[in-house]
Amino acid sequence: MMRVAFIGLGDIGRPMAGHLATRFELAVWSRTRVKVEAFVQSRNAIAASSPAEAAAGAHVLVTCLPTSAEVEEVLFAGGAVQKLDRAALVIDCTSGDPATSRSIAARLLEREIGFVDAPVSGGVAGAEAGKLTVMCGGTDSDVQRAKPVLDAFASKIVHCGGVGAGHAVKAANQALLAVHIWATGEVLAALTKAGVDPALALEVINASSGRSNASQNLIPERVLSREFPRTFRLALLDKDVGIALAMARETGTAAPFTELAARLFAAARSELGEEADHVEAVRLIEREAGAEIRSGHGSPHQAPSSEP
Ligand code: NDP
């Protein structure tokens, strides 16, 4: 049976690794020991005490860490690469940056180890359901080798180009996500203050051309309900928008929306901290507007508030 090592049991890594445990001989490592112990308690997997121990004898090593910097650290300083067999494959599911991935791939190639950047989308719910979309960067043969592993948690796999192409597409998607969250939040804050119930406004928008995942799912489920669950940290979205902005600059592409999103999400991160969820950025809009976006507020039967 193929041996797989998985590194990074975070919000999304944990359910992804859960699917791998049902198909492969799996060893897991995460920085926080209790997470590893909790994972192996209920699944058929080996708890490794270091990245190197997880990598020993693995045919495929999967990483799912906050940024490419941690991937580099775990692979090279953490000793994982030295333990991998020649002709092994590293699949990086981190939403990383294309330039660092190209440098990692070149270093791995010196040892004949392949590399595929394979960031995911679909959120924690998609990971739990095994229905993530995966966007890959790498050679045809490496992406073909990665597919049986990715199939364990993906319902769609797209080969976007050479190493770094998956990370580039992911960053672009994330810039759009950030723009949609902020833009939808600000129009709903204005509507609320104008006396319109935001739930009714969304009923219209979601049957019209202004709709997005933010308007259809994120804001109704998390903002109107005031639940704001933590599934994807705001700090990570801030990182993603920064990657998109760097890509725009490197390619000499004017990107005023990405620039503004980068500024707004960096401010939200410094205001709300490292553990806040990405949708909580809407709290900044609400504070500024002096109005909460919640169902039943701004009823058209009430006079518009003159409060700030
Ligand atoms: P989390 O912050 O929940 O988890 C990150 C993981 O990285 C944890 O396992 C953590 O270890 C580990 N880690 C953090 N710092 C270090 C370090 N210095 N050295 C070694 N390990 C470290 O992130 P997510 O799981 O949410 O996200 C992982 C990646 O997937 C990110 O790039 C993110 O942008 C992307 N992503 C996330 C989605 C989501 O919905 N959450 C959706 C799509 C992509 P430990 O917890 O054990 O301390």
For residues 278 and 233, is the Cβ–Cβ distance under 8 A? yes
Does the structure show a pLDDT above 80 at 303?
no
Q: Ligand 1 center to residue 70 CA distance, Å?
A: 9
Domain boundaries, the chain: 3-162, 168-289
How confident is the model at residue 299, as a pLDDT? Answer: 55
Distance CA 76, CA 108 (A): 10
Contacts made by residues 68-72, CB under 8 angstroms, sequence distance 24+:
68/92, 68/94, 68/96, 68/97, 68/100, 68/101, 68/104, 68/167, 69/100, 70/8, 70/94, 71/96, 71/100, 71/104, 72/100, 72/103, 72/104
C-alpha to C-alpha distances, 125 to 15, 81, 128, 183, 267, nearest whole angstrom = 9, 31, 5, 24, 27
- Dump pLDDT digits (tens) for 129-146: 999 999 999 999 999 999
CATH class of 3-162: alpha beta
Does the structure show a pLDDT above 50 at 302?
no
Give the ligand 1 atom nearest the CA of 73: 19
Give the ligand 1 atom nearest the CA of 14: 25
Q: How far apart are the first and last CA of the chain?
A: 63
Q: For ligand 1, which residues put their CB under 6 angstroms from it?
A: 8-13, 30-32, 35, 64-66, 70, 73-74, 94-95, 120-121, 123-124, 231-233, 236
Q: Ligand 1 center to residue 65 CA distance, Å?
A: 4
Q: Is 307 exposed, middle or buried (0-12, 13-18, 19+ CB in 10 A)?
A: exposed
Contacts made by residues 147-151, CB under 8 angstroms, sequence distance 24+:
148/2, 149/2, 149/4, 149/20, 149/24, 149/60, 149/62, 149/91, 150/91, 150/118
For residues 269 and 263, is the Cβ–Cβ distance under 8 A? no
Task: Give the residue from 123, 157, 75, 108 showing the smallest Cα distance to 231.
Answer: 123
Distance CA 261, CA 244 (A): 10
Does the structure show a pLDDT above 70 at 307?
no
pTM: 0.95
Task: Give the residue from 106, 215, 88, 203 showing the smallest Cα distance to 149.
Answer: 88
Average pLDDT, the chain: 95
Query: Which distant-in-sequence residues (6+ apart) come within 8 Å of 90 by Cβ?
Result: 60, 61, 62, 63, 75, 84, 104, 108, 113, 114, 115, 116
For a substitution probing ligand 1, which of 11, 91, 124 has the most ligand atoms within 8 Å of its CB?
Answer: 11
Give the ligand 1 atom nearest the CA of 240: 34
Active site residues: 170
For a substitution probing ligand 1, which of 16, 35, 65 has the most ligand atoms within 8 Å of its CB?
Answer: 65
Start-end of H helices in the chain: 13-23, 33-41, 51-55, 68-72, 80-83, 98-109, 123-129, 140-150, 165-193, 198-205, 213, 234-250, 256-272, 282-289
- Residue 303 DSSP class: P
pLDDT band at 250 (very low <50, low <70, confident <90, very high): very high
**Cα 31–Cα 268–Cα 175 angle in degrees, nearest 5:** 80
Distance CA 3, CA 43 (A): 15
Task: Give the residue from 247, 253, 254 showing the smallest Cα distance to 99.
Answer: 247
Give the ligand 1 atom nearest the CA of 121: 43
Average pLDDT over residues 230-252: 97
Q: Ligand 1 center to residue 93 CA distance, Å?
A: 10
Distance CA 150, CA 81 (A): 20
- Dump pLDDT digits (tens) for 15-73: 999 999 999 999 999 999 999 999 999 999 999 999 999 999 999 999 999 999 999 99
CATH class of 168-289: mainly alpha
- Residue 221 DSSP class: I
